[in-house]
Chain A
Amino acid sequence: MERLGGDHEFLRELLVMFREDVRMNLEKSRTAIAKGDYEGLSRAAHTMKGMLRNLSMGTAAETAAALEKASKESLQGESKELLEGLTKELEGILPEVEAQLADAKP
């Protein structure tokens, strides 16, 4: 919140962006891993890592970072596991985001 300068309307804007970007990048990751496209997977993981860190979602951000690293090394099993883990973590976060967005509605 410090980085947002206490601006709730802006936080809302970012959360809407986050919700869409998470869905899009998870989708990209699944497609990439199915095709064995580790470069695409690492790019998607990198993007998710960035946005999670920006929103101070530390645990999920570290999973995304680990996924980025594993996919860079083309570790199939580990990548798959980490993507599953990250998906679960995000599934935990998204309802919270939805709740925040509902609360913040004017």
Chain B
Amino acid sequence: MRILVAEDDAISRTLLERTLQRAGYEVIAVEDGAQAIVELVKQDAPRLALLDWIMPGKDGVEVCREVRRRKEQAYTYLILLSSKESKGDIVAGLESGADDYLTKPFDVDELKARLRTGHRILELEDHLVEARESMRFQATHDLLTSLWNRGVIVELMSHEIMRSRRERSCTAVMMCDIDNFKSVNDQYGHAVGDDVLREVARRLHHSVRSYDMVGRYGGEEFLVALNKCNPESAVSRAENLRAKIGGCAIQTANKPVTVTISIGLALSTEFTQCTVEELMHQADIALYAAKAAGRNCVRVAQPSGVSKPAEEQPKETSVLAP
């Protein structure tokens, strides 16, 4: 574990440094408060700090305040070092954000014991942060595929569409549906169906750019938003996604299964007055047209209400090729 020691007196500093090194710490020693702050707000800063109360420039209390002010940092356990006369100031020290204090000259066993308390608090903090992050992930992602869940993808798309209107760029919204998915479940069972959903999600996710968005809309339906998309290339990019899914069999627990997807595409530039819900509805209408045209193809939503065939007309492939 790394620990910061801020102490202006060279003898105290050396003594602390040596004692802590013997106790197995990696010590970063500095001579004043300003340097302590620099070290403590760094990325990957030490999580434990021993701060002398009285130092030239910024004192220990000011360091505590500054570190606490920057709340985005992971918690740092701060121990103030004070001489025995200044006990009256301890309340002020703790109120500045220190977790504990130690009287100089320190007793080695007491120092170690108090640092162990610090370890316990930091461990607790880490567990809480971990639990919070895991809950945050669960609240925003689909459990099976780890894609954005429906609520989040719609929300993100809504922001993206507003932004693309401001910036006069285009967002392409794609409603993608696995063709005849029910028969996969019926024929191979739900475990294989889940494998297929996971793999389709993975392929979609890996086939778009990092600033595009992929979410699970429901069942076997996925939403893809291509941000800052060139309207002319939207169809070919949709075709590319379609080829990524149908072009290669999915290795499931039991056997390889090939599935295809149909895609309904709507461009925000074609529906300039539409909300995200209306745009999704347009993509959905185009998806129905793709299904009606024989599946495994892309259809584009038109303001006139007619989905024109995508540039290349795929021939329908057998859904459950072994």
Interface residues in chain A, defined as those with a beta carbon under 8 Å from any beta carbon in chain B:
2-5, 7, 10, 13-14, 17-18, 21, 43, 46-47, 49-51, 53-56, 65, 68-69
Contact = CB atoms under 8 A, between A and B. Distances in A.
Interface string B245-279: 00000000000000000000000000000000000
A69 B83 CA distance: 12
Contacts of B11: 14, 17-18, 21, 50-51, 54-55
Contact of B14 (A13, A53, A56): A13
Interface of B: 8-12, 14-15, 18-19, 22, 54, 56, 83, 85, 104-106, 108
A47 B55 CA distance: 9
B19 A3 contact: yes
Contact of A3 (B83, B85, B105): B105
Contacts of A50: 9, 11-12, 83, 104-105
A53 B10 CA distance: 13
14 contacts: A2-B108, A10-B18, A17-B10, A17-B14, A21-B9, A21-B10, A21-B11, A43-B54, A53-B104, A54-B11, A54-B12, A54-B15, A56-B105, A68-B85
A90 B14 CA distance: 21
Contacts of A49: 83
The dominant DSSP class at the A interface is helix
A10 B8 CA distance: 19
Nearest to B54: A46
Given A46-B83, A51-B12, A54-B104, 20 more contacts: A2-B108, A3-B15, A3-B105, A3-B108, A4-B15, A5-B22, A13-B14, A14-B14, A14-B15, A21-B10, A46-B54, A47-B8, A50-B9, A51-B9, A53-B83, A54-B9, A54-B12, A56-B105, A65-B85, A68-B85
Contacts of B85: 65, 68-69
Contacts of B12: 50-51, 54
Contacts of A3: 15, 19, 105-106, 108
B281 to A, nearest CB: 73
A66 B190 CA distance: 82
A10 B19 CA distance: 11
A46 B9 CA distance: 9
A3 B85 CA distance: 21
A7 to B, nearest CB: 8
